[in-house]
């Protein structure tokens, strides 16, 4: 999928560090460091050189860099070849490229985000404290699948 | 005096397998279906497995690729060298090869694998450990 500058009107450059809560409408390309929380109906692109420790709720998330925290995407999460991700993930669709490294609890499916919201009380952890080991309640999605692109 | 003839298999007839339990590799005959690991003495099944219906077991442990077809429904822990899911799996999966989750397939359980491919509308729930050396 070709990307242009209009897809990501907001860019956090490679020498920028952001701490706090961030919300935006369309899209953000993260090239620097971010710590905190992101809330957007749009797209988040974490570039190769970026480091992020945050809880994210977004439309779709593309990860190429280092990410720690919980990701929730109403549409899809893409973990590219260079991605290093640690945390809990909820999305309707998941695309994992070969070479991506991730660990954490995963809830993927057409109804995963809705199901995750109802179970969020026990499953979600603060950013930087992803699910390691067992013990956390595992939400189970229900409902039928829908056709999307193969990862 | 003529030298005694030994029926030693040629290298072409041999293949290398990695033990599921001790991780050590050894050469075995290409046509072998089961062997005993010469390092840990555990029995290893070398063939691939295809599941086309409901199958509930304690575990499926195979040195080949496990394929769960669309009508397949596996309730078991799976230890294998590759997994293709087109149906349903309920149980923990540890795979030394890639795990492919087909469109509209379902895995409920923890997954440890070097790589993961997820198809359209697949349902996943569990703890995933992808691309890292096995912790277990």
Q: What is the pTM of this model?
A: 0.77
CA B3, CA A145: separation in Å to the nearest integer?
67
Q: Yes or no: say if A98 and A78 are a contact pair by the CB < 8 Å rule.
A: no
Average pLDDT over residues B19-37: 90
* pLDDT at residue A135, rounded to an integer: 36
Q: How far is CA B89 from the centre of its chain?
A: 14
Positive or negative, the CA dihedral B97, B98, B99, B103 is negative
Tell which of B121, B133, B136 to mutate to test the A interface (max A CBs under 10 Å). B121
Residue A108 has its nearest CB partner, among B117, B122, B129, at B122
Q: Which residue in A54, A94, A87 sits closest to A73, CA to CA? A: A94
**Chain B touched by A98 (CB under 8 Å):** yes
Pairing state of beta strands B106-108 and A71-79?
unpaired
- What SS3 state is found at A31? coil
pLDDT tens-digit readout, A99-126: 899 999 999 988 877 766 655 444 444 5
Contacts with B104 from chain A: Cβ below 8 Å: 145
- Write the pLDDT tens digit of every residue in A77-103: 999 999 999 999 999 989 888 889 999
Helix (H) or strand (E) holding A121: helix A112-123
Measured distance CA(A144)–CA(A46) in Å, rounded: 30
What is this model's ipTM?
0.75
Q: Across residues B114-132, what is the average pLDDT?
A: 90
Q: What secondary structure does DSSP assign to A57-101, as a single string?
A: EEEEEEE-SEEES-EEEEEEEEE-TT-EEES-EEEEEEEE-TT-E
Three-state helix/strand/coil letters over B82-122: CEEECCEEECCEEECCCEEECCCCEEECCEEECCEEECCCC
| Residue A93 at interface with chain B, using a CB cutoff of 8 Å | yes
A148 touches chain B (CB under 8 A): yes
**Long-range contacts, stretch A46-49, CB < 8 angstroms, 24+ apart:** A46/A83, A48/A82, A49/A14
Closest CA to A103 of B112, B41, B99, B26: B112
The per-residue pLDDT of chain B, averaged, comes to 89
A56 or B3, greater pLDDT: A56
Residue A134 exposed, middle or buried by CB count within 10 Å (0-12, 13-18, 19+)? exposed
CA distance B117 to B99: 6
Is B131 within 8 Å of A131 when comparing Cβ atoms? no
Please tell me the distance in Å from B72's CA to the nearest CA on chain A: 17
Q: Is A69 in contact with A52 (CB distance < 8 Å)?
A: yes
Q: Which residues of A touch B111 (CB under 8 A)?
A: 106
**Residue B67 to residue A97: CA distance in whole angstroms:** 21
Average of per-residue pLDDT across A117-139: 46
* Alpha-carbon distance B131 to nearest alpha carbon in chain A (angstroms): 5
Minimal CA separation from B83 to chain A, in Å: 15
CB A59 within 8 A of CB A43: yes
Q: Min CA distance, B125 vs chain A (Å)?
A: 5
CA distance A6 to A131: 35
Chain B residues near residue A139 by CB distance under 8 angstroms: 125
pLDDT digits (tens, 9 = 90+) for B68-99: 999 999 999 999 999 999 999 999 999 999 99
Hey, is B72 helix, strand or coil?
coil
């Amino acid at each position: 999928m070709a990307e242009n500058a209009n897809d990501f009107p907001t860019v956090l450059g490679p020498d920028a560090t952001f701490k706090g809560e961030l919300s935006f409408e369309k899209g953000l390309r993260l090239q620097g460091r971010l710590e905190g929380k992101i809330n957007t109906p749009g797209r988040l692109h974490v570039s190769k050189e970026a480091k992020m420790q945050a809880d994210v709720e977004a439309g779709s998330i593309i990860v190429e860099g280092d990410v720690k925290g919980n990701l929730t995407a109403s549409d899809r999460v893409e973990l590219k070849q260079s991605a290093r991700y640690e945390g809990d993930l909820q999305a309707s669709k998941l695309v994992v490229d070969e070479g991506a490294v991730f660990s954490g609890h995963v809830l993927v499916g057409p109804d995963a985000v809705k199901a995750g919201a109802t179970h969020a009380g026990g499953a979600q952890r603060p950013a930087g404290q992803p699910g390691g080991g067992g013990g956390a309640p595992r939400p189970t999605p229900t409902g039928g699948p829908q056709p999307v692109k193969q990862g | 005096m003529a030298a005694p003839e030994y029926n030693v298999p040629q290298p072409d007839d041999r293949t290398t397998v990695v033990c599921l339990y001790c991780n050590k590799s050894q050469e075995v005959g290409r046509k072998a279906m089961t062997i005993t690991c010469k390092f840990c003495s555990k029995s290893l099944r070398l063939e691939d497995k295809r599941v086309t219906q409901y199958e509930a077991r304690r575990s499926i442990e195979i040195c080949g690729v496990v394929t769960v077809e669309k009508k397949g429904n596996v309730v078991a822990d799976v230890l294998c060298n590759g997994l293709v899911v087109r149906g349903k799996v309920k149980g923990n999966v540890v795979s030394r090869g890639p795990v492919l989750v087909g469109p509209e397939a379902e895995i409920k359980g923890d997954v440890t694998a070097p790589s993961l491919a997820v198809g359209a509308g697949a349902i996943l729930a569990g703890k995933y450990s992808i691309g890292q050396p096995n912790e277990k």
